Structure 1
Amino acid sequence: MSSTELPGVRSTVEPTPQVGAARVAEGEQLRTVALPGLEMNVRFRPPTREGLPPALFVHGLGGSSQNWSELMERLADSVDGEAVDLPGFGWSPPPADRDYSVTGLARAVIRHLDAAGRGPVHLFGNSLGGAVSTRVAAVRPDLVRTLTLVSPALPELRVQWSAVPTALLAVPGAAPLLVRLTRGLSAEQRTLGVTGLCYGDPSRVTEEGFRAAVEEMRRRMELPYFWEAMTRSSRGIVDAYTLGGQHGLWRQAGRVLAPTLLVYGGRDQLVSYRMARRAAAAFRGSRLLSLPEAGHVAMMEYPEVVAAAFRELLHDTDRNTEDSKG
């Protein structure tokens, strides 16, 4: 789950109607990356100086690249960052193959990195984007310099009750029922529900931020593929949770070679805080940032704290690299 919403070959993706205009923060720019069967919107900040290492930010279920705007701004002096709208989310149209599985989304990220030639990158992922980023780091270690995961959607046996409605989206036929049950809800009511679910303290959402989230919610609800993207992505998470063997996410976490920063919120209603200890044990040599007052989107709630923790990871990684050369 995410927050309030909040040069290649021409693509074979069918044109999809969009409503309104994308919201761009001061200093940000947007571009479209087109590959065969895949088109993704990319949000980026021109680097403050030459030579900054590249970074890629991957959002969660129902979110968009905009979820990373505040953190990207705070790291503009440390990385050359860009955030993608995963296929079917934000301003990216659905993938031509309609594959919203964790593997399918990871493949989209890998194709983008390969086409752009930006790897290895400092890879960030939140929730579903955390699962996607874990898979990318495990199968393509050459593309990942460091890995930062904010409340990653990794399998847990005791799912929190507040996460059950999201899981129910994966049940065949559930989406039409949910549409009928929520037909009377306004964009404002839906946005209040999302912020209440994702933020440890919803009062941290500014009035301007809430208005923007309402407009984005309204726009997304008018897209013909909105529910398809949500249901198939939810099904992809459930499938990834039940997948065993070498393709299981916990097994892949153990294969990640990149230095890893894990960020967990004590008030997270979607990914249990108790999973932090297991994740810290699974990712070799990882470091853990625990934020007792944060919810599911710490990079939006406490961007300055997450930025400081990443800078420490970046500094230590660069120092270890220099030491190994010496």
Structure 2
Amino acid sequence: MGALSMADERIRHVTMPKWGLSMTSGTITEWLVAEGDPVTPGTELAEIDTEKIAGTLESEEQGVLRGIVVPAGSAAPVGGTIAVIAPAEVPDAEIDAAVAQAREQLESGAVETAAGPVVAEAEVGGRTLSYATLGDGADVVVLVHGFGGDKNSWLFVQEPLADGRTVHALDLPGHGASSKDVGDGSLRTLAGAVTGFLDALGIERAHLVGHSLGGAVITAAAAAAPDRVRSLTLVAPAGFGPEVNAGYLRGFVEASTRRELRPHLRQLFADESQVTRQLVDDLLKFKRIDGVQEALKTLLGTLLAGDEQAIDARPLLAEVSAPTAVVWGRRDQVIPVAAPEVFGDDVAFRVVEDAGHMVHMENPAATRQAIESVLGG
């Protein structure tokens, strides 16, 4: 969001976000606010559908939604203005002019495309790690996905977090565009990849955020190198109790067709409609890459001991003094919500209603708030 050119500086434009590296446009399925409604940072503005996933666009501004440029049911390119926000005292004539200018730009195709994350690679321990970066602030945040995920799972969180910060979304070994060699697949090896990534980029200290397996990984990294970590945010983390949906984990690894994979993916979300055909197809394509099945099977041995979790990250967290937050979806069907006391008295613990295991995709605002609650560390 930013100021429209040649208009009152108080008029701010809401643009189609770039959620993920491949997104070029989005369709507004529903406006959640109407013209004339007041908005503040975090207000949910619209539901947007992309080829891969649907998400909710939140306001970054305070004011009044004065004009909708793109109606529900219509699409707009990434970077295109879809609405304008301004204080109530800005004259209607100026709002009308700003809306007309935005529509003209959309119709002519003269839309400045949002740059999106910059993808690069780092060599760590003989492996190539892929990562995507947004922002250039002094504070550094590193986002670490879960088992079977990749850097794109942070698509709704990375962009708003990058305001005034540098935010890297990392592909762990065996995932995304990183090397598929996971070695022994141990928690220590994966944690070493994270600290090695900090070394490769010359990052002295970083805020670490980890989802599921990634939560256990960053806890181990923080315990091994406490001087490198400014804060931890654990998103539905593995390693803090014995219970786990072992059937999901084994089913995800073994599935080789769309029909087999889709039921397992539905267990990741409270809202099963998030599991689009494109999401299923993308994961199947990933699972068919040479080395992926072997990597996933190796990591499955790290995650499971029979039908329970093999990882116990609790003693590792006890060694961490950095500010720590935990956020979890109440309807998590993969790792049940752990008891708050497991994490200690000094840990900020939040449970999000109507969200599942992928709480950072279903409720990115709550996830971002949890992360930002410890960024002063």
TM-score normalized with structure 2 length: 0.65
Alpha-carbon contact 1:102-1:237 (below 8 Å) kept: no
Residue 357 of structure 2 aligns to a residue whose secondary structure is coil
Deviation per CA, 1:166-192: give whole Å up to 9, x if none: 5558xxxx97xx4xxx45x32xx3553
Deviation at 1:28, TM superposition (A): 1.3
Deviation at 1:278, TM superposition (A): 3.6
Deviation at 1:54, TM superposition (A): 0.4
**Alpha-carbon distance between aligned partners in 1 of 2:371 and 2:278, rounded to the nearest angstrom:** 28
**Alpha-carbon distance between aligned partners in 1 of 2:234 and 2:341, rounded to the nearest angstrom:** 14
Deviation at 1:23, TM superposition (A): 4.0
Residues 145, 190 of structure 1: alpha-carbon distance in 2 compared, 3 angstrom cutoff:
farther
Residue 286 of structure 1: aligned partner:
347
Alpha-carbon contact 2:352-2:366 (below 8 Å) kept: no
Deviation at 1:76, TM superposition (A): 1.5
Residue 271 of structure 2: aligned partner:
201
Deviation per CA, 1:263-299: give whole Å up to 9, x if none: 11110011111x1424332xx5110111021111111
**Alpha-carbon distance between aligned partners in 2 of 1:53 and 1:190, rounded to the nearest angstrom:** 42
Residue 313 of structure 1 aligns to a residue whose secondary structure is coil
Residue 103 of structure 1: aligned partner:
188
Residues 191, 80 of structure 1: alpha-carbon distance in 2 compared, 3 angstrom cutoff:
farther
Residue 92 of structure 1 aligns to a residue whose secondary structure is coil
Deviation at 1:233, TM superposition (A): 0.8
Residues 197, 241 of structure 1: alpha-carbon distance in 2 compared, 3 angstrom cutoff:
closer
Residue 197 of structure 2: aligned partner:
112
Residue 289 of structure 1 aligns to a residue whose secondary structure is strand
- Residue 222 of structure 1 pairs with residue 308 of structure 2: no
Deviation at 1:131, TM superposition (A): 0.5
**Alpha-carbon distance between aligned partners in 1 of 2:361 and 2:135, rounded to the nearest angstrom:** 21
Residues 40, 277 of structure 1: alpha-carbon distance in 2 compared, 3 angstrom cutoff:
same
Alpha-carbon contact 2:140-2:166 (below 8 Å) kept: yes
Point out where structure 2 has 5 or more consecutive residues left out of the alignment.
1-19, 24-113
Residues 164, 33 of structure 1: alpha-carbon distance in 2 compared, 3 angstrom cutoff:
same
**Alpha-carbon distance between aligned partners in 2 of 1:288 and 1:104, rounded to the nearest angstrom:** 28
Residue 219 of structure 2: aligned partner:
134
Match of 1:164 among 246, 269, 272: 246
**Alpha-carbon distance between aligned partners in 1 of 2:187 and 2:248, rounded to the nearest angstrom:** 16
**Alpha-carbon distance between aligned partners in 1 of 2:240 and 2:340, rounded to the nearest angstrom:** 13
Aligned AA for 2:214?
Answer: G
TM superposition outliers: structure 1 runs of 4+ over 6 Å: none
Bigger helix share: 1
Alpha-carbon contact 2:142-2:209 (below 8 Å) kept: yes
Point out where structure 1 has 5 or more consecutive residues left out of the alignment.
1-21, 318-326
Q: How does 1:42-191 map to 2 (within 5 A)?
A: 42-47=131-136, 51-95=137-181, 98-157=183-242, 159-160=243-244, 163-166=245-248, 168=250, 178=254, 182-183=255-256, 185-186=257-258, 189-190=259-260
**Alpha-carbon distance between aligned partners in 1 of 2:262 and 2:304, rounded to the nearest angstrom:** 25
Residue 88 of structure 1 aligns to a residue whose secondary structure is coil
Bigger strand share: 2
Residue 276 of structure 2: aligned partner:
210
Deviation at 1:130, TM superposition (A): 0.4
**Alpha-carbon distance between aligned partners in 2 of 1:30 and 1:24, rounded to the nearest angstrom:** 12
Deviation at 1:30, TM superposition (A): 0.7
Deviation at 1:311, TM superposition (A): 2.3
CA RMSD of aligned residues (A): 2.5
Residue 125 of structure 1 aligns to a residue whose secondary structure is strand
**Alpha-carbon distance between aligned partners in 2 of 1:143 and 1:24, rounded to the nearest angstrom:** 32
Residue 34 of structure 1: aligned partner:
123
Residues 190, 233 of structure 1: alpha-carbon distance in 2 compared, 3 angstrom cutoff:
same
Residues 238, 210 of structure 1: alpha-carbon distance in 2 compared, 3 angstrom cutoff:
same
Deviation at 1:89, TM superposition (A): 0.5
Residue 135 of structure 2 aligns to a residue whose secondary structure is coil
Percent identical pairs in the alignment equals 29
Alpha-carbon contact 1:166-1:234 (below 8 Å) kept: no
Residues 46, 167 of structure 1: alpha-carbon distance in 2 compared, 3 angstrom cutoff:
closer
Greater relative contact order (CA < 8 Å, ≥ 6 in sequence) = 1
Residue 198 of structure 1 aligns to a residue whose secondary structure is coil
Q: Select the structure of larger CA radius of gyration.
A: 2
Aligned AA for 1:250?
Answer: R
Which one is further off, 209-218 or 256-265?
Answer: 209-218
**Alpha-carbon distance between aligned partners in 1 of 2:229 and 2:260, rounded to the nearest angstrom:** 36
Which one is further off, 292-301 or 56-65?
Answer: 292-301
**Alpha-carbon distance between aligned partners in 2 of 1:78 and 1:150, rounded to the nearest angstrom:** 22
Deviation at 1:34, TM superposition (A): 1.9
Count residues with an aligned counterpart: 265
- Residue 268 of structure 1 pairs with residue 332 of structure 2: yes
Deviation at 1:101, TM superposition (A): 1.3
